[in-house]
Structure 1
Amino acid sequence: MILLALLAIVELSTFAGNGSIQKPNIIIILADDLGNGDVGFHGSDIKTPNIDRLAAEGVVLDQFYACPMCSPTRAGLMTGRYPNRFGLMRAVIPPYREYGMPPEEFTIAEMLGEAGYKHRGMVGKRHLGHRQKKWLPENQGFTFYEGCYNGAIDYFTQEREGEQDWHELDKPSEKSGYTTDLVGDASVTFINSVPETEPFFLYVPFTAPHSPFQAKTEDIAKYPERTGDKKIYAAMIDCMDQNIGKILNCIEKRGQVDDTFILFFSDNGGVQRVASNGDLRGWKLTPYQGGINVVAAARWPAGNISGGEKITERMGYIDVLPTLMEIAGYEGQVENELDGINVLDAMRGENLEDRNWFTYFDQRSEKIERLALSTDEWKLIWERNAGDNTSPFEKTELYRIDTDKIESVNIAEQNKELVLSLQTVAEHFYRNKVEHQNPRYPDKENLAGSVIKNWTPEK
């Protein structure tokens, strides 16, 4: 009995990170605009054997939520907070904007640094601010970075707006190749740079399969039954999966499969023109499930996240930081209020208490705010004029999301009191937003300054 007790103590210290034994490696892999239905384990014709392997050997996160667009998801992922609290939930960050994730926010990389992770790498698309050095990865907790600051860079030249956007830490990189391959290769380089006796954190936000729709000839040839951009889109996902395979194989060669926590998900749903979100209604830039309920899987054999189970508990991007706090054994303080929760036990199959889940965006030129509130039973969608829009508009939808996951029957008219109650809750969330919000995407009045040479900020 004494021996068993000692073994239990050792196991807890190993995997909770509370003792001298190595903490688990942590890898977050983020796809860009990947449709919920565009992976093999969801029945797609697109070849994704490595993503499928994560799902089969780990767990499928069937109700994993993101924002309906890029930068907000990345901001909430990094902080564990709804990005309206610091101005980054309304819209993405286009080139030249004088906006970025505030240094006052406590990031995953900074937290893990305090938790004993000396090696903290990021490879891929940042998209959280690029005009000032304070917004760059190395100034927000990362010790290694290779990738692009903008979205939608050219896959073969790494250019955006005519300037090269590929960096190693804060310096322009001379590397060339297909972007997805550069991401995979740099990820392997980072992993192999870490001594096998020391834990690491690696965040891999691929640019794929976001536009521009560009793929390698050999990958396009694999999909003769597809045409046009849908053909290229499939090839881009295929290539991303190949590079995820490089990461998985690297971990396997190092003998670290069991002791590595891996989370894979998409930053939002797929775009209507090329993607499939399966049975889910809606697309990227909509508050429907197809925009926010994204494909996701996690694996950590030593942490009992394995077996191929489907986890139906609702969780998402803001839960990643508090969950990693548990995995890493972080015992410090977090000054900013967190909106996410630790969902590690839910990934192991335990139930979560019901909670409100919020979505908000106002990216387009029509100046319409789109809010959504989800609970285990209900989903409210509330669209209305933004404060700077004088035209009258309001639209309300209500769904029994527990039984109507495809949002097919709007029952708002039959439940007016419930709608008003949910709107009150949504309005309270909305009021948490700071005044200084990232401008809408087409808002040219907020362009800041001239062309940035090689996208390298001077201040």
Structure 2
Amino acid sequence: MLDKPFHILPPLFGAIATLGFTGFASTNAEAAKPNIVLIVADDLGYSDLGCYGSEIATPNLDSLASNSLRFSQFYNTARCWPTRAALMTGYYPQQVRMDPQQRGRKLPNWTRTLPQYLKPAGYRSYHSGKWHVSAAPRQVQDAGFDHSYALEEQNRFFDPKNHTEDDKHLPPVKREDGYYATTAITDYALKYLKEHATQHSIDPFFLYLAYISPHFPLHAPAADIERYKNKYLEGWEVIRQRRYEKLQSIGLVHCPLSKPEPDIKAPSGGPDTLRKLGAPESFYAVPWDSLTPPQKEFQAMKMAIHAAMIDRMDQEIGRVLAQLKSMNAMENTLIFFLSDNGASAEILVRGDGNDPAAPMGSADSYLCLGPGWATACNTPFRRHKIWVHEGGISTPLLVHWPAHTGAGGGNLSNTVGHVIDIVPTILDVAGVKAEPQWNDATAPPFPGKSLVPAFTKDDAVTRTSLYFNHERNSGLRMTNWKIVRDDPAKPWELYDLSKDRNESINLADKDPERVRDMDNEWKRLDEQFKKNAEDAAQEKVQGK
């Protein structure tokens, strides 16, 4: 442990003042800058943590939650790269050329990343794990991190071939090296924190810790899988009901449990996928009792591996928290934990393929969670990753900063939030005002809000709307009303989320005027965001 407290806050943070958003008083700005840790899971379902209703062992995150704000209505963008673009820039991905991805094009020249905002305020920035912001491909040179370990592929947890440190390619990992991605991501994060403690202890830091778990392929250490073997033979309906009851008892949800949708086919599976799997896989969330005994064993084992991946991630997060404590930095560090999208129903095979004879969860296997278990992991909501129904876009959010959140007993927050709020929130607590001028261009205002007012008062953050658009899925939330559809050729569905977050009672026919108004708002935002993504230099040439 360090001899002196590591970047400790003064006893009182100071009054709140206006800094373009709800910033902390400038007189305390230098003394009060907290360290910031942003932890992102990959394809984690809304109910996949113990503190969000799960049976999976997540003691470190559960302990963190006991002194955190737990948000019940926080949203992502339904997919990996759009969410990560929003987290790094503060804008909807459509504004920064990240949904759809525009291959070969960089972020608009008015765009800054979070490290670029924080550096003038004295922060050092570190990244370890997934990146997936293709419009800023180099984490150090393009995004401004001081150090970065980037795992640039998603197909191999045990022997990745494409990974970099500080924008330089590292040798491919050999299977005999004992590498496991979740542990390696943590190792690099600890390396950067320890270096910071010895060489930059007077400076605040930002750590972006981006795990690739529990994204497919289902890969986990055998010992971790063994702890969950046979745990899921009772089936996805039983697990889902049990999680729902726990979520209700915690107070995180107040809606009925959504009905299963056995006719919704898992995305991504090609016509030869079942042949490649050589296993009793199913593209549909069929009733558990309709499965054969071999299918039940196969599906239960897949969920056991998913659980093991989350369990291991929690263990590794425990190592990071222990490091913060050893640096005497815990009290002066604002920690966020969330997921990039809902649990995934996808079923596909890529990378090195799948050997049906290999142990499930090993490097020679390539399996996906699938729609049955994804439905359970996204309890109590409908649909999955890619869709913008609640199951695809709802994420746990833990905000740990006990001295400043009033969360001594682990409070719940009903504040509606979105990943576009993370950058404004971080800049707020860091005392950074985002000037609009950058690279001889003018940035549009942030679409999100600082969540700082919600740290001490529920529902203190208000907004006009939240926009969703990914692939063929689109939606809009205004107050407690939401329109959503899974195909632009289909009519909007309308739901009252104050009573029906499970999206079961479509009110579109009963309130067509509301649907029309919300449709107009969605179109207005969609058009505005397309214009934001245009090249500023091109706008100048055309006199726009």
Contact 1:259 1:301 in 2 (8 A): no
Which residue of structure 2 lines up, in the alignment, with residue 200 of structure 1?
Answer: 205
Distance (whole Å) between structure 1 residues aligned to residue 434 and residue 496 of structure 2: 40
Against the structure 1 CA distance between its residues 437 and 248, is the aligned structure 2 distance closer, same or farther, given a 3 Å change threshold?
Answer: same
Correspondence 1:84 to 2:94: yes
Contact 1:153 1:165 in 2 (8 A): no
The amino acid that maps onto 2:94 is N
Which of the residues 56, 61, 65 maps onto 1:51?
61
| Residue correspondence of structure 1 range 165-314 to structure 2 within 5 A | 165-174=162-171, 177-195=179-197, 196-224=201-229, 225-226=231-232, 227-272=300-345, 273=370, 274-275=373-374, 276-304=377-405, 306-307=407-408, 308-314=410-416
Secondary structure of 1:203's match? strand
1:99 Cα deviation after fit: 4.7
Contact 1:266 1:295 in 2 (8 A): yes
Contact 2:69 2:405 in 1 (8 A): no
Secondary structure of 1:137's match? coil
The amino acid that maps onto 2:522 is A
Correspondence 1:346 to 2:448: no
1:20 Cα deviation after fit: 4.0
Give unpaired runs (5+ residues) of structure 1.
1-6, 159-163, 363-368, 386-392, 439-459
1:30 Cα deviation after fit: 0.3
1:266 Cα deviation after fit: 0.2
Which residue of structure 2 lines up, in the alignment, with residue 380 of structure 1?
Answer: 483
The structure having more radius of gyration, on CA atoms, is: 2
Against the structure 1 CA distance between its residues 19 and 414, is the aligned structure 2 distance closer, same or farther, given a 3 Å change threshold?
Answer: closer
Which residue of structure 2 lines up, in the alignment, with residue 452 of structure 1?
Answer: none
The amino acid that maps onto 1:348 is T
Deviations 1:293-332 (A, max 9, x none): 1111110123235320000110120001111111111135
1:345 Cα deviation after fit: 1.4
1:173 Cα deviation after fit: 2.3
1:401 Cα deviation after fit: 0.8
Secondary structure of 1:280's match? coil
Contact 1:103 1:140 in 2 (8 A): no
Which residue of structure 1 lines up, in the alignment, with residue 474 of structure 2?
Answer: 371
Contact 1:87 1:433 in 2 (8 A): no
Question: Under a length normalisation based on structure 2, what TM-score does the superposition of the two structures give?
Answer: 0.70
Which residue of structure 2 lines up, in the alignment, with residue 141 of structure 1?
Answer: 144
Identity of aligned residues (%): 30
Which of the residues 32, 35, 56 maps onto 1:25?
35
Which of the residues 94, 108, 113 maps onto 2:114?
108
Q: How many residues end up aligned between the 2 structures?
A: 405
Give unpaired runs (5+ residues) of structure 2.
1-9, 17-23, 233-299, 346-369, 438-442, 535-544
Contact 1:68 1:268 in 2 (8 A): yes
Against the structure 1 CA distance between its residues 111 and 354, is the aligned structure 2 distance closer, same or farther, given a 3 Å change threshold?
Answer: closer
1:21 Cα deviation after fit: 2.5
Contact 1:357 1:375 in 2 (8 A): yes
Against the structure 1 CA distance between its residues 218 and 101, is the aligned structure 2 distance closer, same or farther, given a 3 Å change threshold?
Answer: farther
Contact 2:449 2:461 in 1 (8 A): no
Contact 2:13 2:32 in 1 (8 A): no
Give 4+ residue runs of structure 1 displaced > 3 Å after superposition.
7-13, 15-20, 99-104, 382-385, 435-438
The amino acid that maps onto 1:156 is F
1:435 Cα deviation after fit: 7.2
Distance (whole Å) between structure 1 residues aligned to residue 75 and residue 105 of structure 2: 25
The amino acid that maps onto 2:319 is K
Which residue of structure 1 lines up, in the alignment, with residue 275 of structure 2?
Answer: none
Contact 2:85 2:98 in 1 (8 A): yes
The amino acid that maps onto 1:129 is S
Against the structure 1 CA distance between its residues 242 and 334, is the aligned structure 2 distance closer, same or farther, given a 3 Å change threshold?
Answer: farther
Against the structure 1 CA distance between its residues 371 and 59, is the aligned structure 2 distance closer, same or farther, given a 3 Å change threshold?
Answer: same
Secondary structure of 1:21's match? helix
Which residue of structure 2 lines up, in the alignment, with residue 66 of structure 1?
Answer: 76
1:46 Cα deviation after fit: 0.8
1:89 Cα deviation after fit: 2.2
The amino acid that maps onto 2:394 is N
The amino acid that maps onto 2:476 is L
The amino acid that maps onto 1:147 is A
| Residue correspondence of structure 1 range 124-135 to structure 2 within 5 A | 124-129=129-134, 135=137
Which of the residues 447, 450, 464 maps onto 1:355?
464
The amino acid that maps onto 1:357 is L
Against the structure 1 CA distance between its residues 9 and 249, is the aligned structure 2 distance closer, same or farther, given a 3 Å change threshold?
Answer: closer
Secondary structure of 2:506's match? coil
Which residue of structure 1 lines up, in the alignment, with residue 46 of structure 2?
Answer: 36
Contact 1:75 1:101 in 2 (8 A): no
1:53 Cα deviation after fit: 1.7
Contact 2:40 2:340 in 1 (8 A): yes
